[in-house]
Amino acid sequence: QVQLVESGGGLVQFGGSLRLSCAASGGIFSINAMGWYRQAPGKSRELVATVTLGGGTWYIDDVQGRFIISRNNANNTVYLLMNNLKPEDTAVYYCNLPERQMRMYKMDLWGKGTLVAVSS
């Protein structure tokens, strides 16, 4: 069964840190890169970081140097360590395949996400 379950969000002060986790069930996630997305209020969902099976990473400029994505291939878990959080990081965070792989596999499943709220 294909399933994505995100956790670890919460309310944090400006400059604080949070670690998000994503439990990904289903073989498709164990053979592909994974990514973290976020959707801020009133905005479209955006991809913010990806990690390959081998641990290679990519980040959008806005989170480069503050966020660290990692994965545990043994248990299909993806993490996002978020440091030096800013109010503009406030969003619901989701994990999934990166956009190219989502199109390739026609993936339309999303988890419920986890809410991150950063106070100023």
Q: Tens-digit pLDDT profile for the chain (120 aa)?
A: 889 999 999 999 999 999 999 999 988 888 899 999 999 999 999 999 999 999 999 999 999 999 999 999 999 999 999 999 999 999 999 999 999 999 999 999 999 999 999 999
Q: State the pLDDT at residue 98.
A: 95
* Closest to 96 measured CA to CA, from 48, 64, 54, 60: 48
| Positions of E strands within the chain | 3-7, 10-13, 18-25, 34-39, 46-51, 57-59, 67-72, 77-82, 91-96, 114-119
Q: State the pLDDT at residue 28.
A: 87
Q: State the pLDDT at residue 20.
A: 98
